[in-house]
Chain A
């Protein structure tokens, strides 16, 4: 940018030489030295003038930056502190917001995952169009048998492995604690290229079942700090996980993160697998065909593409189906699922569906920055207008058009630089705010920071904004240099300048309209979501918490179910508890088990995949505790459970789907499909629908089974307690005491109220709502300020005209109307353009909307009315002031 300095000095030397040669020639022709010099200078026609004309020829004068121009710019701006303050703050607001959101976009979407060559990492997923339609987008993980097939026969992977995360009870280190654990086969840590910072990783034999001694584990850095205070002697010590001894082999570095798990693992252990068995912690399973519940992860060989790898796996799947043991009929069933590989780049898996939301936010803050630029452009335009005499004088003194343009640009760049500097604290504060309001499950939130690419982005947006801001003023500047005569008097604004101003107002109004429509649609969505009946009542009064009884603590199912009932009885007896129950999971907790059902005396549909139903296992009084109405029949009783236990309840929508009437379902018999050995279950009741999968999802059809039944050992359960004391520490203490009275080794975890779960399911909507509302409000304020500024200026420019008109008898109201109509006319163009933009924008955000059409008329009408009122007011105030012009005073100035 500063090459101009060197080129200028070269040019000066060249011209100096030219002049000297002329002088010498004059002397040779017989002139006196003084005369020779004067004559040469006259012939030369002004060195500065020549330089300017050469600089003009260089083109793009703004790329010629010199410190004197910058200093001049700073001096000019210092003479206008008010203007400078407003412009810098406006720019800083726009750049700061854009930078903050870009740091999120960069950290989450663009920055590579923190593993070497992370673009070669893929998640091994499968589609099964025979099981769920491909359109649902649902994919499945891998089975242990698939992993073995892939591991031994693939041609595409450098490493491939399985992982699964869960919770275990840690004892033997003081207080019992439920910790997050990750189990991995060989290949996972290799694919991620992870080495423990201290100690060692797992050896090949430790990945095989039947290894002697305690299983090795690797601790996370955070867990090591928390439980061992960072003491290196922790290596080699033994932990009890679900009462099973494990030896600490290694400790990870502080910056290791496993994919996007919101709850990062405290402890990593090996999945031990051979061709017969798979051992995960204390669970041993035979290797069979299906059970696609493991997560597969692989590193592609260098140069292998995703589709080549998919083709490779597609070749192996028929081999897989034939090669492994299966239950009777299972091989046919799995064949009918039509399993196909669906590898995904690991980054897509980690980032999930958040990309759309983040780019939407980026667009939003970009629009705010554009509005800010339009405002400053207008200010600069007004200012350039006021400076016409100055420009005219500079032009008369020999400044080329390029010089004047360069001066304007330097001022603009100085503004941009100051804006960028002030923007960084803004961005930092914005990021802090973002961290508070962002959904807790936002992936890679730890990767978000203001690092170098973000700073570079900030600088680039400052430069771009400076350029954008100065374009209208620059265009004007090219008309000034001949305007010495006319520039000193405030003539009526030229048509060209008026057009530019109108366009700038229109741009602001259009962008503000788009953002306000976005905010409006989110408000409507939020209203619709909160108006939805979730199916349960008084979520703030329902306390929930989870308990897990490991086999090592109580091995026999009869005894641990007894313990669950004991604990329930103790909790029910607590003061202030009106009802209590437990189950496999609560609504919105995401623990539903999915399967299809068969109905007695009704043939299963042939050919197509039967619809899947949600299954939940519950204790008596579950519905009473949650406030779910019984529509027909009766609740489960302990007598049912102690008897055969072959009973079920179904949700109203399932009853209506199968038997048209809730009442008609009672007494019918169903069972889980594909398990011909299971007994038929008699439907004893029908319950109100519950939005168990999320408020924005249709209520699933649910089958409720007794929580305790033959051959079904549910070791992890959720308690629900209805009490006015929910959420209070005193109740939680009493609940913990009730649990420990039954068994002192059991931690209570995931303690929260249903209100917490309910709010969490709204968090993405409220997050988008807050950010769009803030952006919309900023846009509205900036636009109003911009329109007010332009109208004030237009009024002051035309005060002469107003004075003459008033003197000639024009009515003030008619004149006021003229100015307001000018503002509204410009706004109308903006509304037109904005409507087109809003239609596109609202379609873009349609996946975030609930129960609101993207073209919701109410939202559009309210936003347009709001804008028209705001524009009218911001135009009326300056128009009102114009009427105070004293006609006599104006005319005297002529």
Chain B
């Protein structure tokens, strides 16, 4: 079975979650999944089986906190919000990504040997 949408690369979903929560404030799991898909321009598809373990992992690491609240359409839902230590983590991770991206860009710009 081939997929027309990419799975999220290992390790990057956490960054996307933090970034989303940082930009948009507290969200429930469904909301996070939709926002990330929108931000990616529908190029990503977020599977709950991938998302919820990552949310739990971030919570265990103390980057996000949860509380029960009411959604837009009056439904009980668990809301996630980024914590102070989550923001620090986000800043550090973003820097690392920035550096990694630069390095990859440099290689991308290498020209092939003239034939």
Contacts and interface: CB of A to CB of B under 8 A. Distances in A.
Given A22-B30, A45-B49, A17 B76 contact: yes
A58 B78 CA distance: 17
Interface of A is mostly: helix
Contacts of A24: 73
A46 B49 CA distance: 8
Interface centre among B48, B49, B73 (most CB of A within 10 A): B48
A38 interface: no
A11 B78 CA distance: 9
A18 B30 contact: yes
A57 B29 CA distance: 16
B28 interface: yes
Nearest to A24: B73
B57 interface: yes
Contacts of B91: none
A13 interface: yes
Interface in A8-63: 10-11, 13-15, 17-18, 20-22, 24-25, 43-46, 49-50, 53-54, 56-58
B52 interface: yes
Q: State which size class the interface on B falls in.
A: 20 to 34
B46 to A, nearest CB: 10
B56 A58 contact: yes
Nearest to B34: A25
Contact of A54 (B47, B52, B73, B77): B52
A684 B56 CA distance: 96
Contacts of A20: 75
Contacts of B60: 57
Contacts of A49: 49
B75 A18 contact: no
B71 interface: yes
Interface string B43-62: 00001111011001100100
A14 B57 contact: no
A336 B52 CA distance: 83
A345 B53 CA distance: 57
B57 A57 contact: yes
A58 B55 CA distance: 11
B78 A10 contact: yes
Contacts of A56: 53
A10 B55 CA distance: 14
Contacts of B53: 53-54, 56-57
A45 B48 contact: yes
Contact of B78 (A14, A53, A57): A14
Interface in B35-92: 47-50, 52-53, 56-57, 60, 71, 73, 75-78
A746 to B, nearest CB: 83
Contacts of A14: 28-29, 52, 77-78
Interface centre among A43, A44, A56, A57 (most CB of B within 10 A): A57
A57 B48 CA distance: 14
A17 B71 contact: yes
A54 B56 contact: yes
Contacts of A54: 52-53, 56
A17 B75 contact: yes
A440 B13 CA distance: 72
B48 A50 contact: yes
B52 A50 contact: yes
17 contacts: A14-B77, A14-B78, A15-B48, A17-B29, A17-B30, A17-B76, A17-B78, A18-B30, A18-B48, A21-B31, A22-B30, A24-B73, A25-B34, A44-B48, A45-B47, A45-B48, A53-B50
Interface of B: 28-31, 33-34, 47-50, 52-53, 56-57, 60, 71, 73, 75-78
Q: Would you list the 4 A-B pairs with minimal beta carbon distance, nearest first?
A: A57-B53, A21-B30, A18-B30, A50-B49
Given A14-B78, A45-B49, 19 more contacts: A14-B28, A14-B29, A14-B77, A15-B48, A17-B29, A17-B30, A17-B76, A17-B77, A17-B78, A20-B75, A24-B73, A25-B34, A49-B49, A50-B49, A53-B52, A53-B53, A57-B53, A57-B60, A58-B56
